[in-house]
Amino acid sequence: MDARPTHVIVVGNQKGGVGKTTNTINIAAALSQLGRTSLIIDLDMTAGATKSLGAPTEGWISSFELLTGAEDAEGTIIGDNEREVTLPPNIHLVPSSRKLAELDTFLASNPWVVHQDLLLEPIRRLRGRYDYIFLDTPPQVTKTTVPALKAADFVILSAMPDHLAIAGCVFHAKAATDSR
């Protein structure tokens, strides 16, 4: 039985620059103001969430070790009480690193590993420890995207409200209501 309900949320979009990492960090920060605990797992090899939170991208156990099972889920977490990294209260981080580029090689040399299931066991182990676990995904479909979607309870699609995208939505909404 979990100590508390944990909501696992993927923040994603196949396009870059739409605020995935910004939304992830700011939603976790807002929840921390309400006394909720959040874990951010940075699944993007460019390490946007890791860098934004002031954590180094080298020298720490990262999401690569989490995904490959080289380290227990608990051993990959940087807490808000670390001396070397100052995280906001109630926010913990599994940092990313360039090692994520080696995930394809790992999967090719371990054919028995089910790619889509890479996050299921780590997330299961972390449930009950946090109110929220955010999975910050890269701007393209990579070997980390599908496992994140499979492990998640909810998905936040981060998008910029471009005037053409809005116009297209209004057009389709109007067409849908006109056809009733």
Residue range of the domain that includes 69:
7-178
**Tens of pLDDT, residues 70-105:** 999 999 999 988 888 889 999 999 999 999 989 889
Nearest to 137 by CA among 30, 47, 56: 47
Asked if the structure places residue 45 within a domain, the reply is: yes
Asked if the structure places residue 73 within a domain, the reply is: yes
Asked if the structure places residue 69 within a domain, the reply is: yes
Question: Strand 132-136's sheet: what is its strand order?
Answer: 91-94, 38-42, 132-136, 7-12, 154-157
Asked if the structure places residue 83 within a domain, the reply is: yes
For the CA atoms of 153, 14, 98, 27, what is the dihedral angle to 10 degrees?
-50
Work out the number of other CB atoms within 10 angstroms of the CB of residue 120: 13
- Amino acid letter, 18: V
CATH of the domain at 65: 3.40.50.300
With a cut of 50, say whether residue 169 has pLDDT above it. Answer: no
Asked if the structure places residue 147 within a domain, the reply is: yes
User: Structurally, how many domains does the chain consist of?
Assistant: 1
